[in-house]
């Protein structure tokens, strides 16, 4: 297996930021946009005739190929691997605005399509000429129901930063500069939050108490922030005609409201599964009751070191066992310089997969030779396989929504975990089982508890006009307690954790984690029973954004309007829980 451990940007993109091809690509894109605008802003037959619209959509779709964002991708990747790359930072500052203005020139096209009378919309959706674009048009017409006038849209866009972004940034700035006193030293708050899980019980709980005290001190500002942005959302929802606080997010993620509410209801009704896990965790920690400070603490350590070459071989073998085509994609990306593997000074933390129309699929990792890094490799390569298989779609449908993307990554991660766990024995296998279950509980039950909290938060602000910091903290503790159960004792101060949760500022985003985890688990359980079912999984991976999540998974035989699929995924989690319970007896 050939492995390159750093991004080969000079071959995949440009030799440098002074490469003349950059300006040529920018100029080519500008000319293509200007030509499209000149033609279709004047000639309006495409608003009446299906054949003319089909031609216009073909041209519109090709703009994603003719107007590559490669210069921005290249500069951003340089910055991601070297925070001190001031040349890349300056390039991004200069050209981001240019690309934004270029995109704004095209706004008229979708806005005018969205304004079409219902009879013409129906005519277009029934047209044979427009059949390849039917799903795209369906979503456009549905979203357009909530559009405002062009001047109003521009005004909301201009005010968004000062009425939303700067509130969030203010709280972030406070948190990022806050320190706490710990053992005669001052420790940055962010560092303290990370260190909690590394300490023995007495110190862990003491440091956690200091962190919560610091968050409580920041809560007055966060109270103003949360009420301001939630009230702003209430105003925009009313202007756009959204009835419930979560409706805009669900529409944006292309889900169906009924299937999402089915997910939330099903998971909420099965909170006892999460409660059982925390009871087991308390037992493994030799405690009758644990505290919020203990919720993520390790119960042991898998000491086996896994160098990247070994991890890559293990994930390759897992992917190959599912289907050779997935191992081929895995090998190609590693050999092609599309994976940046190791941590280094100035490199961004975490891991991600990045892809775009006409752009190479790229992965950023920070591999540290442990089991978690192996599973991260499988997770991100799952995204990569999804991206590569989706490139079989036409450019308009190469992408996929957030909810669907999480299905692919967690599917491949689960397969890699099973292969890894099979090679572990005794205590290390028990620890690995615990760690995987803890992640699954967080991805499913915690996120739905967050969804329920957000809903009560938004409804509370809408009904009362304002919720105090004490009310918000109590509300978060209520929903946290419901999924964790009696094995976890929550202190009143624990509710001030709301100050740090960025997801609450990305309204109702959290459900996508539970959606992805449970649908992927249902798919995986079917593959375990019948390996030939992988062909159905591949249909989903190749679907890109050509249908709604519900439509895509219906073709795999999964009806997301019924609780069965989510119950199937939960059953897999419950089986893992039973295995852990049996192992620690």
Question: Which residue in 283, 274, 271, 272 sits closest to 581, CA to CA?
Answer: 283
pTM given for the model: 0.90
Distance CA 445, CA 440 (A): 8
Model pLDDT for residues 159-208, shown as the tens digit of each residue:
888 889 889 989 988 998 899 999 888 999 988 998 999 999 999 999 99
Q: What is the pLDDT of residue 300?
A: 87
Flag whether pLDDT at 585 surpasses 80. no
* 310 — pLDDT class (breaks 50, 70, 90): very high
Distance CA 559, CA 70 (A): 39
Per-residue H/E/C for 282-343: HHHCCCCCEEHHHCCCCCCCCCCCCCHHHHHHHHHHHHHHHCHHHHHHHHHHHHCCCEECCC
Flag whether pLDDT at 286 surpasses 80. yes
- Collapsing DSSP to helix, strand or coil, 503 comes out as helix
Stated as kind and residue range, the H or E segment containing 353 is: strand 352-354
Tokens representing 401?
């929504």
Flag whether pLDDT at 294 surpasses 90. yes
Vertex 338 angle, CA 334 and 344, to 5°: 95
Q: What is the pLDDT of residue 44?
A: 94
Question: Which residue in 327, 393, 500, 318 sits closest to 136, CA to CA?
Answer: 393
Q: What is the pLDDT of residue 264?
A: 97
Distance CA 377, CA 365 (A): 7
* 289 — pLDDT class (breaks 50, 70, 90): very high
Q: What is the pLDDT of residue 153?
A: 82
Q: What is the pLDDT of residue 303?
A: 79
Q: What is the pLDDT of residue 569?
A: 93
Question: Which residue in 413, 424, 438, 199 sits closest to 306, CA to CA?
Answer: 424
State the virtual CA torsion across 444, 445, 447, 452 in degrees, nearest 10. Answer: 140
Model pLDDT for residues 379-398, shown as the tens digit of each residue:
999 999 999 999 999 999 99
Flag whether pLDDT at 281 surpasses 80. yes
- Rounded mean pLDDT, 272-280: 97
Model pLDDT for residues 59-79, shown as the tens digit of each residue:
999 998 899 899 999 999 999
Domain ranges of the chain: 9-145
Model pLDDT for residues 5-43, shown as the tens digit of each residue:
999 999 999 999 999 999 999 999 999 999 999 999 999
Flag whether pLDDT at 149 surpasses 90. no
Q: What is the pLDDT of residue 107?
A: 87
The per-residue pLDDT of the chain, averaged, comes to 94
Flag whether pLDDT at 55 surpasses 80. yes
Model pLDDT for residues 400-416, shown as the tens digit of each residue:
898 899 999 999 999 99
Q: What is the pLDDT of residue 100?
A: 85
Q: Which residues, at least 6 apart from 199, have a Cβ–Cβ distance to it below 8 Å? A: 207
Q: Are 488 and 506 in contact (CB under 8 A)?
A: no
DSSP 136-170: HHHHHHHHHTT---HHHHHHHHHHHIIIIIHHHHH
Distance CA 204, CA 371 (A): 24
Model pLDDT for residues 442-492, shown as the tens digit of each residue:
999 999 999 999 999 999 999 999 999 999 999 999 999 999 999 999 999
| Location of structure tokens 């979708």 | 110
Q: What is the pLDDT of residue 402?
A: 87
Homologous superfamily (CATH) of 9-145 is: Oligopeptidase f, N-terminal domain (1.20.140.70)
Q: What is the pLDDT of residue 201?
A: 95
% the chain with pLDDT above 90:
85
């Amino acid at each position: 297996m050939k492995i390159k451990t750093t991004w080969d940007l000079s071959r995949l993109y440009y030799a440098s930021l002074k490469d003349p091809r950059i300006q040529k690509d920018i100029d080519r894109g500008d000319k293509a946009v200007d030509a499209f605008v000149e033609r279709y802003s004047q000639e309006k037959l495409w608003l009446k005739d299906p054949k003319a619209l089909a031609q216009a959509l073909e041209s519109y779709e090709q703009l994603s190929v003719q107007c590559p964002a490669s210069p921005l991708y290249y500069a951003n990747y340089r910055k991601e691997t070297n925070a001190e790359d001031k040349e890349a930072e300056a390039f991004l500052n200069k050209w981001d605005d240019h690309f934004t203005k270029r995109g704004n020139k095209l706004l008229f096209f979708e806005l005018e399509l969205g304004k079409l009378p219902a009879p013409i919309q129906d005519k277009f959706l029934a047209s044979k000429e427009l059949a390849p674009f039917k799903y795209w048009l369906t979503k456009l017409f549905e979203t357009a129901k909530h559009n405002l006038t062009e001047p109003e849209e521009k005004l909301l866009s201009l005010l968004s930063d000062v009425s939303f972004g700067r509130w969030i940034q203010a709280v972030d700035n406070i948190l990022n500069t806050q320190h706490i006193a710990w053992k005669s030293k001052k420790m940055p708050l962010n560092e303290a939050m990370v260190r909690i899980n590394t300490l023995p019980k007495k110190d862990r709980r003491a440091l956690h108490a200091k962190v919560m005290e610091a968050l409580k001190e920041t809560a007055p500002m966060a109270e103003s922030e949360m009420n301001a942005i939630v009230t702003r959302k209430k105003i925009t929802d009313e202007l756009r005609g959204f009835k419930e606080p979560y409706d805009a997010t669900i529409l944006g993620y292309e889900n169906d409201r009924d299937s999402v509410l089915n997910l939330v209801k099903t998971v909420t009704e099965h909170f006892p599964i999460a409660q059982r896990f925390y009871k087991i965790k308390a037992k493994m920690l030799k405690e009758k009751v644990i505290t919020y400070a203990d919720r993520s603490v390790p119960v042991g350590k898998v000491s086996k070191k896994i160098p990247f070459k070994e991890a890559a071989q293990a994930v390759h073998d897992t992917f190959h066992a599912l289907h050779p085509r997935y191992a081929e994609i895995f090998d190609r990306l590693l050999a092609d310089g599309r994976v940046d593997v190791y941590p280094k000074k100035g490199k961004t933390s975490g891991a991600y997969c990045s892809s775009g129309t006409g752009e190479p699929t790229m992965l950023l990792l920070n591999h540290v030779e442990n089991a978690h890094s192996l599973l991260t490799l499988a997770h991100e390569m799952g995204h990569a396989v999804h991206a590569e298989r989706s490139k079989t779609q036409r450019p308009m449908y190469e992408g996929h929504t957030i909810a669907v993307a999480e299905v692919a990554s967690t599917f491949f991660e689960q397969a890699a975990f099973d292969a890894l766990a099979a090679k572990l024995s005794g205590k290390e296998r028990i620890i690995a089982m615990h760690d995987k279950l803890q992640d699954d509980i967080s991805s499913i039950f915690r996120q739905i508890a967050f969804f329920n909290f957000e809903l009560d938060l938004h409804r509370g602000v809408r009904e009362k006009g304002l919720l105090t910091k004490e009310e918000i903290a109590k509300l978060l503790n209520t929903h946290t307690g419901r999924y964790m159960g009696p094995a976890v004792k929550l202190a009143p101060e624990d509710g001030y954790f709301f100050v740090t949760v960025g997801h609450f500022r990305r309204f109702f985003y959290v459900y996508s984690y539970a959606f992805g985890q449970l649908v992927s688990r249902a798919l995986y359980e079917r593959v375990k029973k019948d390996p030939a079912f992988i062909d159905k999984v591949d249909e989903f991976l190749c679907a890109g954004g050509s249908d709604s999540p519900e439509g895509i998974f219906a073709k795999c035989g999964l009806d997301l309007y019924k609780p069965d699929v989510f119950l199937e995924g939960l059953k897999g989690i419950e089986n893992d829980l039973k295995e852990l319970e049996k192992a620690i007896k």
